Amino acid sequence: MNHSTPKEALLKNLQIGLGKARPVKAPTGTTLHCKGWHQEAALRMLCNNLDPANGENPDELIVYGGFGKAARNWECFDALVRSLLVLENDETLLVQSGKPAGILKTYPHTPRVLIANANIVPYWANWATFRKLDQQGLMMYGQMTAGSWIYIGTQGILQGTYETFAALAKKHFDSDLSGKIVLTGGLGGMGGAQPLSVTMNNGVTICVEIDPQRIQRRIDTKYLDTSTPDLDTAIAMAREAAEAKKPLSIGLMANTAEALPRMIEKGFIPDVVTDQTSAHDELNGYVPTGISLAEALTLRKTDPDQYIDRAMDAMAIHCRAILDMMKKGAIAFDYGNNLRGQALKRGVTDAMDYPGFVPAYVRHLFCDGEGPFRWAALSGDPEDIRVTDEALMEAFPHKKHMVRWLKMAGEKIAHMGLPARICWLGYGERDKAGKLFNDLVASGRVKAPLVIGRDHLDCGSVASPYRETEGMKDGSDAVGDWALLNCMVNVASGASWVSFHDGGGVGIGNALHAGQVTLADGTPEAEVRVTTVLRNDPGTGIIRHADAGYQRARDVASERGVKLPMLNMFP
């Protein structure tokens, strides 16, 4: 007879103490292993990031984005789990770049975990310094949701990508991508959302990816329809589908920087061209031209300096090809991976001639406090997500775009790890949804607590001049105060855990960003937490954009009661 406690069973199942790679899956159900649900939620989401069905390379603790990790090393992962298991309900765990550094006595209503990843003093904030610190075992790259334990698989970026292509279609093609071909690169944890996002908007896409395993993974999870290693075949398939106005996504197994120039030579110019390779990381995220993937992986280890040099050359070629396609009629936009910034360093002086996706298609949503509202079911039961989907559609029937998204998501999206969902909600909507979710848990309609978080890519949480804050109206693109204020607001508001990172999807020194995750466990205390956090978190986005001079944000502030002292906007 087994008399082990839930905690002992968990330690055995996760092989805690092994100190090396092994499969990790989040515990599910209603049994607590920790001393409270806030700690339990953090533990489950940490494990979920490394679920082989979710993370991109969990053996190396890499979740997505080239080198974005959930823990610094396996010993640190073990220590994180042990720390969360013993953490009291009035204590806070400090995590420094993927390592549990200490536990402090705080209060029951404060965050249980505070996380800082890859933050380097600005003068030294560059990849060379980071890599030196990383090699010394002193630092970890957290990307955005990797090191903040709220990655939910490719779905996490899917709706944002869907929203971006929908906004592009509205601006350029009468709100419909039918008959249009989108060309892009990258089918990793973020880029893998692109094919389904395009077909959900009725378009055709060719997604260039050099790694056959990534292509197969997207086919297996139904994000990608088909694949080919032959460029002519990919072009022919795309043209045929576009002519028939049939949505289709094609994975082209090739190097993007080689494929795009060949397309131009063949006279193929897509309707839209973008890219979501991990170009922000020239060593771990991008593959040089002229060598196979296997050769590239070897060169990455044996001669990293040569690898970086060749990768930067390839990115310059890649960016020039996008510029050439734009000059020949394609609509071009940067999808936030810093390809333009890398090419600029390599002498492509007109690299910034095509816009980033935020100023081109998303900023008006930010002015409404809109952003990526995501949640995961700690029960492990997909039925809990179906219940929350239905509840949101009932609560916000006027958001027809969101309702359409949720219906399609329920039909087309395979869960990766813990069942989860995402949709974009604005200021005044997120807190309403948080209360709704807490009520669902309290009533038993949802079987176990829900965690509510978001991507760091949000309306008020990022300072990133090549992405979220590119081209701000008042020129405040590089002002990092807003991201810090967002982080502090979420701590003060009582989020379950809060994180602050450097780098995100654009690389060390190019962005500062904050994240929050908050638990809905059905209690009155949780209702206060979720409504406060989910009101104030997007509230910083309204304030940030109103301060920058966007009239829409100022109107929203006035309509919804956000106080702006400098504009004398008090009720």
pLDDT for the residue numbered 569: 63
Is the model's pLDDT at 435 over the cut of 60? yes
What's the pTM? Answer: 0.92
DSSP strand pairing (68-69 vs 62-64): antiparallel
Question: Under a CB-based contact definition with an 8 Å cutoff, are residues 537 and 460 in contact?
Answer: yes
Percent of the chain at pLDDT > 90 equals 94
- The residue type of 226 is T
Condensed to tens digits (0 to 9), the pLDDT of residues 308-349 reads 999 999 999 999 999 999 999 999 999 989 999 999 999 999
Residue ranges and CATH numbers for the domains of the chain are: 6-64+71-135 (no CATH), 155-355 (3.40.50.10730), 362-567 (3.40.1770.10)
Q: What is the pLDDT of residues 518-527, one digit of tens each?
A: 999 999 999 9
Is-contact 514 459, C-beta < 8 A?
no
- Ranges 21-35, 52-66, 248-262: which has the least confidence: 52-66
Question: What is the spatial distance between Cα 386 and Cα 382, in angstroms, rounded to a whole number?
Answer: 7
Q: Is the pLDDT at 1 greater than 60, yes or no?
A: no
pLDDT tens across 495-554, in order?
999 999 999 989 999 999 999 999 999 999 999 999 999 999 999 999 999 999 999 999
Model confidence band, residue 571 (pLDDT cutoffs 50, 70, 90):
low
Quick one: average pLDDT of 71-79? Answer: 98
Q: What is the pLDDT of residue 567?
A: 82
Selecting among 76, 319, 423, 487, the annotated active-site residue is 423
Q: If we measure between CA atoms, which residue out of 498, 413, 395 comes closest to residue 453? A: 498
pLDDT at 460 over 60: yes
Eight-state DSSP code of residue 398: T
Active site residue 423: yes
Question: Residue 494: its pLDDT value, please?
Answer: 98
Secondary structure (DSSP) of 7-69? HHHHHHHTTTT--S--------SS--SSSSHHHHHHHHHHHHHT-TTTSSBGGGTEEETTTEE
DSSP 230-263: -HHHHHHHHHHHHHTT--EEEEEES-HHHHHHHH
Q: How far is CA 459 from CA 34, 176, 358, 543, in A?
A: 33, 26, 10, 10
Give the whole-number percent of the chain exceeding pLDDT 70.
Answer: 99
So what's the pLDDT on residue 66? 81
